[in-house]
Amino acid sequence: MNRGIKRILVTGGAGFLGSHLCDRLVAQGHDILCVDNLFTGSKSNLTQLLGRPNFDYMRHDVTFPLYVEVDEIYNLACPASPVQYSVNPVQTTKTSVHGAINMLGLAKRTGAKILQASTSEVYGDPEVHPQQEEYWGHVNPIGPRACYDEGKRCAETLFFDYHREGRVRIKVARIFNTYGPRMDPADGRVVSNFICQALLGQPITLYGDGRQTRSFCYVDDLIDGLIRLMGSEDAITGPINIGNPDEFTMIELAEMIVALTGSRSPLIMRPLPADDPRQRRPDIARARDMLGWEPTVRLREGLTRTIAYFDALLSCAASPVLPIAMQGDIVLPPAYPVNRLGA
C-alpha cells in the first residue's frame, strides 16, 4: 500500500458530519470504511460514494465490538440533537460510552490513531464565556439532556484514561453548533428548524426570549478542523474547540433566515426547554495556535448554501414521503416529500 494512503474507519459515517468527512477523505485517496447503524444516519447521504473503489459501507452498531484493520479512526457515532437522542436516551448513552470503549479497544489492538467527536455540550449551561477548553462545565447529570451531555463527558474520560494507561494515540475535538447541507429537516436543530419553517411559510419557533446565543460553524470548516487535528503531532491530544466564534442570538438568526428566504413567517415564542444553554461561543485560540485552523465561511454565506439545499430537498418529488411529521415544531403537510430519519 502507498504509504500516503491510510485505511480509515469513520463511525457514524452516514450522518450529517460523517458523510461530509467521508467525502473529504475519499477525495484525498484514502481507503474508507464507513460504519453506521442508521439510527439517525441515512444511506442517501452516501449515494455519491457507493461504488467508489476506495469506499466501503458496513451497517454496524458501535455498542458491539468491531474487528477490522485500520490506521485511523474517527469516532462520530451518536445521535446529536435533542429530538434524536430523546427517542432513546439509554441507547444514546450506550453509544457514547460503550462505543468509545469498543473503538478505543480497536485502536489499542491495531495501533491506530483515534479521534473522538466530542461536543460543546460538555460545557452544559456555561458560567464561563466564551468557553475555553480548561473550563470543566456546568452540566445537570440527571436532566433530559444528560444522556448526551454526560455520555460525551464520559467518552472524553475514557479517551484520556486509555491514553494514559494504554498509550493509545488520541485526539478529542469539542464540536460547536455545525450546519450545512445534509442536515435532517426533522432533527430539531435550530438552523434546520428555522429554514424549514421559513420555506414552508410556518411560524418560526423561538424559545424563551430568543436572546440566548449560539455560534454556528459551516460544515466544510468543521471537517477541515477535524482533519487537521487528526493530522497533528501525537503530543496534541486536545481537547480542542472546533467552532465559529461569531456569536448570534436566536432572534438574529431567525431574522437573517427570514430575509434570505424571502419568507413572511412570523416569529413566535415558546417556553425555554429544560437545561437549554443560555450562551455558547468557543474560544478557538488553541485551534489557531496548534492547528493553524479557523473558520472561513461567514454565517450569511453558509446559510445561503444551506437554504438552497433545503429548498431543493423540500421540492424534490423523488424524496421518500413522510405522511405527517411533527418534530421540532415543524409541521409538514401530508405527502410532503422529506428524507425520513434512518431511511
Q: Could you tell me if 10 and 74 are in contact, meaning their C-beta atoms sit under 8 angstroms apart?
A: yes
Closest CA to 276 of 210, 204, 192, 202: 210
Quick check: is 183 in a domain? no
Quick check: is 194 in a domain? no
Cis peptide before 65 (omega within 30 of 0): no
- The residue assigned the cell 410532503 is 336
Quick check: is 264 in a domain? no
Quick check: is 77 in a domain? yes
Residue 135: enclosing H or E segment and its boundaries?
none
Parallel, antiparallel, or unpaired for β 178-179 and 247-249? unpaired
Given this model, what pLDDT does residue 341 score? 26
Through-space distance between the first and last CA atoms of the chain, rounded to whole angstroms:
35
Q: Could you tell me if 21 and 13 are in contact, meaning their C-beta atoms sit under 8 angstroms apart?
A: yes
Domain count of the chain?
1
Quick check: is 319 in a domain? no
Intervals of the chain under pLDDT 70: 1-3, 275, 317-343
Given this model, what pLDDT does residue 343 score? 24
Given this model, what pLDDT does residue 37 score? 96
Question: Cα separation of 79 and 12, whole Å?
Answer: 9
Quick check: is 101 in a domain? yes
Quickly list DSSP for 158-187: HHHHHHHHH---EEEEEE--EE-TT--TTS
CATH number at residue 236: 3.40.50.720
What is the domain extent for residue 236? 7-178+218-242
> Active-site residue numbers?
148
Q: Could you tell me if 213 and 248 are in contact, meaning their C-beta atoms sit under 8 angstroms apart?
A: yes
Quick check: is 269 in a domain? no
Measured CA distances, 200 to 13, 179, 185, 254, 331 (Å): 29, 19, 12, 14, 9
Quick check: is 60 in a domain? yes
Given this model, what pLDDT does residue 324 score? 31
Q: Could you tell me if 237 and 171 are in contact, meaning their C-beta atoms sit under 8 angstroms apart?
A: yes
